[in-house]
Amino acid sequence: MAVLVWFYTGIATFVLYLCFYRWIFMRNFKGPKVWPVIGCTLELAWNRSRMYDWLTEYCNGFYPTWKIRLPGKDIVASVDPANVEYVFKGNFSNFQKGEPFKVMCHDTFGSGIFNTDGDLWKRQRKIASYEFASKVLRDYGCDNSKAHAVNLCRILDQASKDERPVEMMDLALRLSLESVCKLGFGVDMGSLDPSLPTLPFVKSFDSVTQRLADRYVDPLWKLKRFLRIGSEKVMAEQLKKVNNFTKELVLTRKAELEAAAHHETRVDLLSRFIGAIKEEPFTSDPIKDLQDAVVNFLLAGRDTSAAALVWTLYAISSHPRVDEKIVEELQQLEGEKDRDVSLERSFDDFARLLDYDTVNLKMQYLQAAILEALRLYPPLPFNVRMALKDDILPACGTIIRAGDDFLYSSYAQGRMEQLWGEDCLEYKPERWLRDGICRQESHFKYPVFHGGPRLCLGKDHSLLHLRITLAMLLRFFRFQKLPTCEMKYKVTVSLLTSDEGLKMMVQKR
């Protein structure tokens, strides 16, 4: 009897403690419900499959700043452009990747540009910026984008003749893989061959990035890695395959450069990094440094470009009025380039019209349609920075303690009525146009490409690639999503669609 009394007394005490904790200490807390010891972990895990909408709901509910309390730290989330600017730019030196993030990503990104701070980050960014600023690379990238867009058009043309649906997420990933590997590493992967071959490396790379994202919401990932069980066992197996591929790629390119000596100039990022590391290695393992560079730029270019293309195509095809206006703009371009607009052009003929100046100056509505799609469906939906010292956010006075994270969600920020108006959830390219010219917003209101010192180096190239690809696709084809296909994202590093992808019927115009 005494045991039962103590048991029920313990239960009652625990319940009273929870009530006291929740309704006394945490009643004014701005954020998800907090429980002793575990914080918001349960709610975070429960919403992991809809993470970006979950963040958006709390951003709306506690606009503009709120907290996620986890064991050992707080995450301060804000969609206020002034706070974002402060973290991106105003006090940039105090908000870094941080050691916990680096540890989480080290086996994947190593000492690459996206997993470093300080001098090592600055040096890698400087090397890459020289290449992105090169007119040679710009022109090479333009030709590269056109060539791959033509190959994609031929695949879609056959699908339209066969009257069979296509999976656009898969095709977009293939397209961006070819573009990034040619531009970044000087290699052809062959993934846009009409047979659409399966590439083992790609499957391994996708598996690694998915499990990397899982670590954000899995407090036991270190234990799993130590025991080599579950998702971490799969991670290790697939990462080994990725490392084997990147090592072979690096060694092959080094051998090619040494054989060519001064007789050939390579126009790709990997060749520039090989030259820079030859003079001064990043770490004690130069080959691993180059492997890390490959993985970092592959992730930055492939997944984000593919996500941007698919979600923009989905948005445009879901709004026939926008689709028609883009086609009108393209037809006007044809009229300016060649007065015989009745001529039935081939894919190659039209691609030749898309020179760098034309794409940048003559496609204002298409550019607006892209920016509007990325507002609602940003390729990188959220990111975090860790405070090295105690700090105060200027727009709201929220205190961030040393070791806490600042979370900014471009997905949520693009859906805030306070920033974009009552029609913020509507897809309206016109919101970007002023007197027919597409105008850019502040990087801090529109952090799709980040901002400040970490502004995306490939921003201009990515937008150029998108404009060229969409101009080719929309000039020759109409796209319609299958009624049975439900567009959902999966929570990974980039805003890729769920495994079902985007199934569409393609009709030749």
Q: Are strands 73-78 and 405-408 parallel, antiparallel or unpaired?
A: parallel
Q: How far apart are CA 105 and CA 53, in angstroms?
A: 24
Q: How far apart are CA 386 and CA 404, in angstroms?
A: 6
Beta strands in 137-213 (DSSP E): 166-167
Question: In the structure encoding, which two tokens stand for residue 121, read together?
Answer: 């980050």
- Integer angstrom CA distances of residue 143 from 97, 108, 139, 304, 380: 35, 31, 6, 20, 26
Q: How far apart are CA 288 and CA 301, in angstroms?
A: 20
Residue 340 amino acid letter: D
Question: In the structure encoding, which two tokens stand for residue 400, read together?
Answer: 């961030």
- Integer angstrom CA distances of residue 437 from 408, 427, 433: 29, 18, 5
Q: How far apart are CA 13 and CA 267, in angstroms?
A: 70
Is 456 labeled as ligand-binding? yes
Residue 341 sits at φ, ψ, to 5 deg, of -75, -10
* DSSP secondary structure code for residue 493 in this structure: S
SS3 call for 285: coil
SS3 call for 508: strand
Question: In the structure encoding, which two tokens stand for residue 111, read together?
Answer: 């000492």
Question: In the structure encoding, which two tokens stand for residue 453, read together?
Answer: 């010192």
Residue 175 amino acid letter: L
To which residue do tokens 């929570």 refer? 491
Annotated binding site: 456
Annotated binding site for heme: 456
